[in-house]
Amino acid sequence: MSGDRTTSGRRGGPDRRPPQIELAGVGVRIGAKVLLDDVCATVPAGGFTGIIGPNGSGKTTLLSTVARWITPATGQVLLDGTPVRAYSGRELARVMATVEQHSVTEADLTVEQVVDLGTIPRAGGRLRRIDTREIVDDALTALGLQKLRTRTWQSLSGGERQKTQMARALAQQPRVLVLDEPTNHLDVAASLELLAQLRDLPVTAVAALHDLQLAGLYCDHLIVLAGGRVVAEGPPALVLTPALLDRVYGLDAEVMPHPRSGAPLVILNGVQRHGGAQPETEQI
Ligand SMILES: Nc1ncnc2c1ncn2[C@@H]1O[C@H](COP(=O)(O)OP(=O)(O)OP(=O)(O)O)[C@@H](O)[C@H]1O
């Protein structure tokens, strides 16, 4: 990569601070279809940002653009002001780890072999084998996978695969974690545990979430998408209002503060008869 980030990192030791992610006018099209339209949003450094919005609103496309799997037709994604397109593949892998919605692998690796894949971007450098083992061990412990470490990927349940992918991402020791529906397949307790971990990790975490309750309880910043556009952005207590849930999802919902944490609790009454409307952008 060109630019100052690498140079200063080498001089002063590796820069492990989690960066801010900025989406600056990001537009994505496939043929005539607009998937993202002039998306401007900020993912705060070191926080846990949730991307919410109805099916097909562009959440996966947005995360894929951040992870550089999709090149936007307009605009750009910046990490602390540096365009992601300026990073080499290896540099980006040392900064950013991803967990996809549906992880597929044909190879029948064991759980610990899958998690060990996460160490590759660093193991190519000066890291010794013993360090790699410790990293894999810590990641397996963090996700409660020690008992499954010798099990093969093909023999795992959906939730066990999801936890294994999360452990692989942790073993990458990233500064940015990009996750598409990380609680997919997880039971209620495992979901709460994973989101609490994400909230407490010293990384910039950004995740697509369908569960508004969990988004309100665990995220400190929300970006709401509808029809490929950002329609609201800000702290959950300000974003998750009955009016927004009506406009974006067509929901009849009430929102009240959680009795202990004060975080917004979404009480679902049902769907509105009129259905959801396409809302105007709202910066909070
Ligand atoms: N390769 C493609 N060709 C055409 N349209 C696509 C393609 N990929 C995605 N889309 C469309 O782009 C829109 C956004 O898709 P995306 O997967 O980003 O939405 P999402 O918010 O993640 O949805 P979900 O909540 O259902 O996972 C959808 O209408 C989808 O059908």
User: What is the pLDDT confidence band of residue 59, given thresholds at 50, 70 and 90?
Assistant: very high
55 lines ligand 1 (CB under 6 A): yes
9 has a pLDDT exceeding 50: no
284 has a pLDDT exceeding 60: no
Lowest mean pLDDT among 4-13, 94-103, 118-127: 4-13
56 lines ligand 1 (CB under 6 A): yes
pLDDT tens digits, 208-246:
999 999 999 999 999 999 999 999 999 999 999 999 999
59 lines ligand 1 (CB under 6 A): yes
* CA proximity to 204, closest of 102, 86, 63: 63
pLDDT at 249: 95
Q: Please report the beta strands in the chain, taking only residues with DSSP state E, as ranges in sequence order.
A: 21-30, 33-43, 48-52, 74-79, 82-83, 96-99, 176-180, 204-208, 221-226, 229-234, 251-257, 264-271, 282-283
The domain spans of the chain are: 4-240, 241-278
pLDDT at 184: 85
13 has a pLDDT exceeding 50: no
Average pLDDT for the chain: 88
pLDDT at 3: 40
* CA proximity to 51, closest of 277, 186, 232, 174: 232
pTM for the full model?
A: 0.89
Q: Given the CA of residue 228, which atom of ligand 1 is nearest to it?
A: 14
User: What is the pLDDT confidence band of residue 107, given thresholds at 50, 70 and 90?
Assistant: confident
What residue owns the CA closest to ligand 1's atom 7? 30
103 has a pLDDT exceeding 70: no
pLDDT at 7: 34
Rounded to an integer, the average pLDDT of 71-89 is 95
pLDDT tens digits, 151-193:
999 999 888 998 999 999 999 999 999 999 999 888 999 899 8
Q: Which CATH number fits domain 4-240: 3.50.50.60, 3.40.50.300, 1.20.1250.20, 2.40.10.10?
A: 3.40.50.300
35 lines ligand 1 (CB under 6 A): yes
* CA proximity to 244, closest of 225, 228, 260, 263: 225
75 lines ligand 1 (CB under 6 A): no
106 has a pLDDT exceeding 90: no
